[in-house]
Amino acid sequence: MGYGGNLFPRLGFVGFVPLESKSRLQTLLDLGLTEYQAKAYLALVETGSATAGQLPAESGVPRTRIYATMEQLNEKGLVKILPETPIRYRPVPVQEFLRRRAEEMRSRAGEMEALQETYGREFAIRDRGAPEPGGSFEVCKGRAGVREKLLLMWGGARRSIEFVGSGHSPARLLGKLYSVARERKEDGVRVRFIFPIGTPHMERVQSAFSEFEVRFALEVPPVDACTVDGREGILIHHIPDDPDPYKGEDTAIWWDDPAILKSRVVLFENSWEDSAGLERPTLALVPAALRGWLEQPGVRPKPLLEEMARGLGAQMAASIRGNTVPAILRELNSVFTEAEVAHVGKGKGDRVYVRCRYHEITGRCPEYDTFCRTLLKTVLEEKLGPGAVEEVTHTRPEGCSVTLK
């Protein structure tokens, strides 16, 4: 074993302990010697010199291992071999061993310093595109706590605020959050909101949010989502999803992870492109969206269809300018015709019908009947007043019909 051995790591990581606090044997073990080497060296220190035949009794090292052990100590520089017959061994003072070892380590350290640049080039790590650093996450509990987090985010905005919310989000945002958004806008921050079609009290939303960029979408996520400056974002689950700005068991997750932020910004921009502004939002969206929705395969539960039709019908009614049956039917018909999904017309007497184009293809479509007649009934009652529709029937060849009072 050469001078390298395991001495270097022991000197570097174990350190020295004063002799009075531990045995001499343990000290030699800490210097990198094996147990046999340490015992043989201690025996030589006590005797001054000894032959191989004398050492086993003095040290406790087995006779079969004594020659190999003494060769190892000689290689370490702790023992000199005297050319006598029989061969005799003499210990080298430990301080001389340590001085020489220190010189060797200093020399080796100098060599390593000189080789840093050369080896750095030789073993340079290839940069294949390091992954983006991960971000941090934070959980917020309670509507008041979530609101405070939003206030901090919006208050620190410098470039942009993007917010996607449910139908009750406008009511929750009015107040301090609204004021902060307006201040940020005055400072040049771009503030954009997306709400779902069918948001309650559309007139109020149109009035209150007219100074911002606001659009409406047929579908929004089940949770509110907000990003600020592309540097932080938050997802909010409102429990319950109601208009109260302060009371709720809401749960939110805030993050600044770059990859997640990038994906959220892309999702917002896609939703922004697929949505429509405050000026007649529904009529701008319905044709393509309604056609795509009706053509999706699968059976939808009747309550879900009716709920969707009522929400869409209420928003469509707010977008229709006319207040008479002919005017209402003209605007509805323009939407359905453009969407190529149905035709609305005036039947005999006080009957108004909506004929889904799928009647012409299949002769029956109960799913679409449910959706269309609920939509038609909702629009007419929103425009003409509650109770304006007396009866909802299904007849052929016209399709779904409602009778006006």
Answer whether 232's CB lies under 8 Å from 220's CB.
no
Per-residue pLDDT of the chain (405 residues; tens, 9 = 90+): 333 343 333 333 333 434 444 588 888 888 888 999 999 999 999 988 899 888 888 888 999 999 999 999 998 889 998 888 888 999 999 888 888 888 888 888 888 888 888 888 888 777 666 555 678 899 999 999 999 999 999 999 999 999 999 888 888 888 889 999 999 999 999 999 998 866 666 666 767 788 889 887 766 778 999 999 999 999 999 999 888 888 999 999 999 999 899 999 999 998 888 776 655 445 455 555 555 555 555 545 566 667 777 777 777 777 777 778 778 878 777 776 665 556 666 666 666 666 655 444 334 455 566 777 787 788 888 888 877 776 655 555 555 555 665
Q: What CA–CA distance (Å, rounded) separates 251 from 261?
A: 19
Residue 8 has phi, psi (to 5 degrees) of: -60, -50
Q: Report the topology of domain 7-98.
A: Arc Repressor Mutant, subunit A (1.10.10)
Answer whether 254's CB lies under 8 Å from 149's CB.
yes
How much is the pLDDT for 17?
A: 39
Single out the residue of 159, 169, 151, 182 nearest to residue 254, CA to CA. Answer: 151
Q: What CA–CA distance (Å, rounded) separates 205 from 74?
A: 92
**What would be the CATH architecture of the domain defined by 137-278?**
2-Layer Sandwich (3.30)
Domain extents in the chain: 7-98, 137-278, 283-404
Question: Which CATH number applies to 283-404: 3.30.1380, 2.60.40, 3.40.50, 3.90.550?
Answer: 3.30.1380
Distances (CA, A) of 203 to 61, 242, 312: 99, 18, 15
How much is the pLDDT for 221?
A: 77
Within this chain, domains 7-98 and 137-278 share the same CATH topology: no
Which residues, in sequence order, are bridge partners of residue 88?
51, 82
Answer whether 43's CB lies under 8 Å from 59's CB.
yes
Q: What CA–CA distance (Å, rounded) separates 327 from 329?
A: 5
pTM across the whole model: 0.48
How much is the pLDDT for 20?
A: 45
Length of the chain: 405
Answer whether 161's CB lies under 8 Å from 185's CB.
no
How much is the pLDDT for 195?
A: 86
Q: What CA–CA distance (Å, rounded) separates 271 from 219?
A: 9
Q: What CA–CA distance (Å, rounded) separates 341 from 63?
A: 102
Question: Quick one: 286 exposed, middle or buried, by C-beta within 10 A (0-12, 13-18, 19+)?
Answer: buried
